[in-house]
A and B are shown apart, each in its own frame.
Chain A
């Protein structure tokens, strides 16, 4: 597969930076702009960058897990977080939290809503993976393989 070294390398560098940014958004969300949904979308943008650079093969290399595993795990995390308060006799989705002092970070308020938000984040990321899986290439059974397709795509982007 022919690749553009410049795009390839920069995508790899930027990818991790954007990913860190998305995780920052996820955790900062409760008090500053951000949150699981936005964080997931930003991570999705990072994933699409990898797609532009290396096609679906590169996207698949990001995570060991299958897209639906991530998506399903996200749903499970969110649902379980929603249901756990029932065990204590509280209504669904009651949030629990504690405040504590952490070294270097200062005062931190940790809450179950963050876990819920992580679930949302995973669902969004899983969905992005799934869409690339669905539309990203023609799969192994098609004649015009994914490599040729995405390759010309990346080249075109570079020109444009």
Chain B
């Protein structure tokens, strides 16, 4: 399994920088990854379906319980099937869709491969933190793919919108994972679900996890990024924003629901959010003229349905959810590709402008209608079977509010039928279509309208449609997979079967009601449009997002102005005062005075300390910056001398080296500063400064004495000294600490050093550029060397 993930990553890394060199073939090369996954899945499928999951384990950070655990059970296999199967279809379709001269070809194909790997990581992860890693990686690749056309400002804005919303949810989810993981004592998903923890912490954690799932799966009120994400190229939308990535949240809910549906407010939350999303998404879809946006809102609506089905947590509903998951991914991906085909051939995907299609489009028309009918839930298609199973499961679910949820879902289904009708009508038979020049920004229909789509366009759509129809007519074909998937999610569940004919029961009646309601919505579209248009007054999610973003930015600006006022004395004063007061209060209240230590250890110390004190006082008293720097250097050298006397040559060596260098650096910087310290400070300011300096001095002094007398544990340095030679083969403990015992610290420190260096160079360059434009009248800094002479 890990090899598959690595394969995706490698392919992505190779394709990413290839630019347009490989041309459209890049997509076919990228298609190797899902193809390999697909073949691998077929070899594993017999075992997995019999309830023997494939498991792989690699140590990552064993001390923290973070290991790369991968596990493929039947539900994971269903997801992998979608990721790989639709991945193959999208790869082929992309090779036809993208223009061969686009410079972004390599990047797009590489990102698609990386995304597929990340998505596999999400569905195969058996560790919450590994899942999180894959989850965020999908957000990032999605961000890059939405902003694929980086010259368009709205594409970049949409990409940022998607990233902000999904990663905000991702962070909430991470916090939820940590809460749940700590409560359960394990981050292994399989162990966690086998023995689910409970309690308030877990309930809070679950709500956080649900927020993550809702943002990813575009549930109200977080849905608005998904329609924006339609700025991505259509194959990307088909793959990420309908078939796979938005299913990650559904996947998570499906995994957790059987174990956690009854905990806390899980069930009410998923039922309310899912139902609301299904209805509002459907309403919005009814209004769209852009077919791609119509599909996007349709996706939002269907995701709401999936949240209801999986979230409720009963085996029956879960089975219906699995069927719906499969059905939706298949028909929505093919519909997206169909809309993309129309867009590429006819130059528009706006229902008001799509011209009549020629005879060559007959096949296209048939398969599109088949997929759309599956979306609407017409019998003999997979969508119907899934939806009816869903109605049945909701009716039988013995949980509070199930009839309300059922009503909402039927209403949502009616809306689905309504927007499906609008889709087909708009694509094939809008009588009001205008032949004249469309509005600005919409490409006019070209002469190519008589062309017919090539087989590379149609092939993937045909294959997906065959799946829709095949499973619709003979649902038993998918029975084993879906039954095993339910068994994997909910081990105690009875075996479930999908059926074409459930008998003349309530579910059938509801299906008929939904169908009739939807057709009614379509037939009466003029008054309906009128009513819905009023709904436009309700602030949309996009507006809410924009307002939130603007207010956050303004607030941050104000806060920054308050906190970062740009005055170095105030910064330094704040830092020093905090450092003095907080530990100082603890020192005064929590500790005892151990008595004065021996005043003079050896007589050699005396002259050194005298020099040190003198230099320190002089440094504070002098007016010239350069003299102050020199006195500071003297203090440092005296410290070094003190270290020598105390028998710490290593410290002394370091101290001398640092002092030498810092004096030189001081000189370099001081050349650019005024010769003397400012004289403008008022007496009040001077008093404040003296108070701060004195309190820091007093605090450090008492801290040094008190901490010596209040030791309660054996010093850690003892063990370091003991283990230095046998374990690290070094007699110099200081160095062994630096490079071995605390090596990670050192690694971080040199990284900080590097950032500081880069920052210094950048700042100096900026300053220089500013200075060089207007020539300074007088040299800003007197040469420090002349000051001393």
Q: Which residues does A use to contact B, with CB under 8 Å?
A: 25, 29-38, 41-42, 44-45, 48, 51-52, 67-68, 71-72, 74-75, 78-79, 82, 89, 91-93, 95, 97, 99, 109, 111, 113, 116-117, 119-120, 123-124, 126-128, 130-136, 138-139, 141-144, 149, 152-157, 159-160
Could you list 13 A-B pairs, sorted by A, with CB under 8 Å? Answer: A38-B653, A68-B757, A93-B743, A93-B744, A95-B728, A95-B740, A109-B729, A111-B729, A120-B750, A127-B753, A130-B757, A141-B768, A156-B786
Choose from B653, B730, B746, B760 the contact partner of A130 (Cβ within 8 Å).
B760
Distance, CA A98 to CA B657, complexed state (A): 31
- Report chain B residues within 8 Å CB of A72: 754
Distance, CA A82 to CA B785, complexed state (A): 44
- Looking across the interface, which residue of chain B has its beta carbon closest to that of A39? B657
CB contacts under 8 Å to A, within B720-749, are 728-732, 734-736, 738-740, 743-744, 746-747
Question: Is the pair B740, A143 in contact by a Cβ cutoff of 8 Å?
Answer: no
Q: Min CB distance, A135 to chain B, in Å? A: 4
Distance, CA A82 to CA B732, complexed state (A): 20
Distance, CA A134 to CA B761, complexed state (A): 5
A41 touching B649 in the complex, CB below 8 Å, given contacts A97-B729, A127-B753, A136-B668 = no
Question: Is the pair B654, A37 in contact by a Cβ cutoff of 8 Å?
Answer: yes
Choose from B665, B732, B760 the contact partner of A33 (Cβ within 8 Å).
B732
Distance, CA A44 to CA B757, complexed state (A): 14
Question: Is the pair B743, A156 in contact by a Cβ cutoff of 8 Å?
Answer: no
- Report chain B residues within 8 Å CB of A93: 740, 743-744, 747
- Given A123-B750, A130-B757, 12 other A-B residues pairs in contact with their CB atoms under 8 A: A30-B732, A35-B650, A38-B650, A38-B657, A71-B758, A95-B739, A113-B740, A117-B735, A119-B750, A130-B758, A138-B768, A141-B772
Distance, CA A30 to CA B731, complexed state (A): 6
A116 touching B743 in the complex, CB below 8 Å, given contacts A31-B732, A34-B732, A37-B654 = yes
Q: Min CB distance, A27 to chain B, in Å? A: 11
Question: Is the pair A126, B757 in contact by a Cβ cutoff of 8 Å?
Answer: yes
Distance, CA A135 to CA B761, complexed state (A): 8
Question: Is the pair B739, A120 in contact by a Cβ cutoff of 8 Å?
Answer: yes
* B779 at the A interface (CB under 8 A): yes
- Looking across the interface, which residue of chain A has its beta carbon closest to that of B744? A93
Choose from B657, B660, B768, B779 the contact partner of A139 (Cβ within 8 Å).
B768
Q: Mark B751-789, 1 if CB is under 8 A from A, else 0.
A: 101101110110111001101100100010001111011
- Report chain A residues within 8 Å CB of B653: 25, 33-34, 38
* B443 at the A interface (CB under 8 A): no
Question: Is the pair B668, A82 in contact by a Cβ cutoff of 8 Å?
Answer: no
- Report chain A residues within 8 Å CB of B734: 33, 35
Distance, CA A111 to CA B735, complexed state (A): 13
- Looking across the interface, which residue of chain A has its beta carbon closest to that of B669? A135
- Report chain A residues within 8 Å CB of B650: 33-35, 38
Closest 5 CB pairs of A and B: A156-B785, A41-B657, A134-B764, A35-B735, A33-B650
- Report chain B residues within 8 Å CB of A109: 729
Choose from B59, B658, B728, B757 the contact partner of A131 (Cβ within 8 Å).
B757
Q: Min CB distance, A38 to chain B, in Å? A: 5
Distance, CA A97 to CA B739, complexed state (A): 13
Question: Is the pair B747, A82 in contact by a Cβ cutoff of 8 Å?
Answer: yes
Question: Is the pair B785, A32 in contact by a Cβ cutoff of 8 Å?
Answer: no
Question: Is the pair B736, A30 in contact by a Cβ cutoff of 8 Å?
Answer: yes
- Report chain A residues within 8 Å CB of B754: 71-72, 74-75, 123, 126-127
Question: Is the pair A156, B757 in contact by a Cβ cutoff of 8 Å?
Answer: no
Question: Is the pair A34, B735 in contact by a Cβ cutoff of 8 Å?
Answer: yes
Choose from B657, B751, B753, B788 the contact partner of A42 (Cβ within 8 Å).
B657
A37 touching B772 in the complex, CB below 8 Å, given contacts A30-B730, A127-B753, A156-B783 = no
- Report chain B residues within 8 Å CB of A120: 738-739, 746, 750
Distance, CA A130 to CA B764, complexed state (A): 11
Q: Min CB distance, B744 to chain A, in Å? A: 6
Q: Min CB distance, B500 to chain A, in Å? A: 53
Distance, CA A154 to CA B750, complexed state (A): 32
Question: Is the pair A31, B59 in contact by a Cβ cutoff of 8 Å?
Answer: no
- Looking across the interface, which residue of chain A has its beta carbon closest to that of B760? A134
Question: Is the pair A156, B731 in contact by a Cβ cutoff of 8 Å?
Answer: no
Distance, CA A45 to CA B756, complexed state (A): 19
Question: Is the pair A143, B772 in contact by a Cβ cutoff of 8 Å?
Answer: yes
Question: Is the pair A160, B788 in contact by a Cβ cutoff of 8 Å?
Answer: yes
A41 touching B661 in the complex, CB below 8 Å, given contacts A124-B753, A134-B761 = yes
Question: Is the pair B664, A113 in contact by a Cβ cutoff of 8 Å?
Answer: no
Question: Is the pair B668, A132 in contact by a Cβ cutoff of 8 Å?
Answer: yes
Question: Is the pair A44, B657 in contact by a Cβ cutoff of 8 Å?
Answer: yes
* B672 at the A interface (CB under 8 A): yes
Question: Is the pair B739, A35 in contact by a Cβ cutoff of 8 Å?
Answer: yes
- Looking across the interface, which residue of chain A has its beta carbon closest to that of B764? A134
Distance, CA A30 to CA B734, complexed state (A): 9
Choose from A51, A71, A95, A136 the contact partner of B757 (Cβ within 8 Å).
A71
- Report chain A residues within 8 Å CB of B747: 78-79, 82, 93
Most chain A beta-carbon neighbours within 10 Å: one of B63, B668, B672: B668
- Report chain B residues within 8 Å CB of A75: 750-751, 754
Most chain B beta-carbon neighbours within 10 Å: one of A38, A141, A159: A38
Q: Min CB distance, A148 to chain B, in Å? A: 10
A31 touching B739 in the complex, CB below 8 Å, given contacts A38-B653, A128-B661, A156-B783 = no
Distance, CA A113 to CA B650, complexed state (A): 18
Q: Min CB distance, A129 to chain B, in Å? A: 9
Question: Is the pair A82, B760 in contact by a Cβ cutoff of 8 Å?
Answer: no
Distance, CA A66 to CA B783, complexed state (A): 27
Question: Is the pair B753, A123 in contact by a Cβ cutoff of 8 Å?
Answer: yes
Choose from B63, B730, B744 the contact partner of A31 (Cβ within 8 Å).
B730
Q: Min CB distance, B53 to chain A, in Å? A: 24
- Looking across the interface, which residue of chain A has its beta carbon closest to that of B58? A89
- Report chain A residues within 8 Å CB of B664: 45, 48, 51-52
- Report chain B residues within 8 Å CB of A134: 757, 760-761, 763-765
Most chain A beta-carbon neighbours within 10 Å: one of B729, B772, B784, B788: B729
Q: Min CB distance, A155 to chain B, in Å? A: 7
- Looking across the interface, which residue of chain A has its beta carbon closest to that of B651? A33
Question: Is the pair A29, B735 in contact by a Cβ cutoff of 8 Å?
Answer: yes
Question: Is the pair B661, A35 in contact by a Cβ cutoff of 8 Å?
Answer: no
Distance, CA A107 to CA B500, complexed state (A): 82
- Report chain A residues within 8 Å CB of B779: 144
- Looking across the interface, which residue of chain B has its beta carbon closest to that of A121? B750
- Looking across the interface, which residue of chain B has its beta carbon closest to that of A115? B739
A131 touching B768 in the complex, CB below 8 Å, given contacts A35-B739, A97-B729, A152-B785 = no
Q: Min CB distance, A35 to chain B, in Å? A: 4
Distance, CA A154 to CA B665, complexed state (A): 15
Choose from A68, A133, A143, A153 the contact partner of B785 (Cβ within 8 Å).
A153
Distance, CA A143 to CA B779, complexed state (A): 11
Question: Is the pair A74, B743 in contact by a Cβ cutoff of 8 Å?
Answer: no
- Report chain B residues within 8 Å CB of A136: 668
Question: Is the pair A113, B789 in contact by a Cβ cutoff of 8 Å?
Answer: no
- Report chain A residues within 8 Å CB of B736: 30, 113
- Report chain A residues within 8 Å CB of B783: 149, 152-153, 156
CB contacts under 8 Å to A, within B457-478, are none
A35 touching B738 in the complex, CB below 8 Å, given contacts A131-B665, A156-B788 = yes
Question: Is the pair B785, A157 in contact by a Cβ cutoff of 8 Å?
Answer: yes
Question: Is the pair A113, B739 in contact by a Cβ cutoff of 8 Å?
Answer: yes
- Report chain B residues within 8 Å CB of A52: 664
Q: Min CB distance, A73 to chain B, in Å? A: 11
Most chain A beta-carbon neighbours within 10 Å: one of B732, B750, B754: B750
- Report chain B residues within 8 Å CB of A41: 654, 657-658, 660-661
Q: Min CB distance, B57 to chain A, in Å? A: 12
- Report chain B residues within 8 Å CB of A97: 729
Choose from B63, B743, B751, B771 the contact partner of A113 (Cβ within 8 Å).
B743
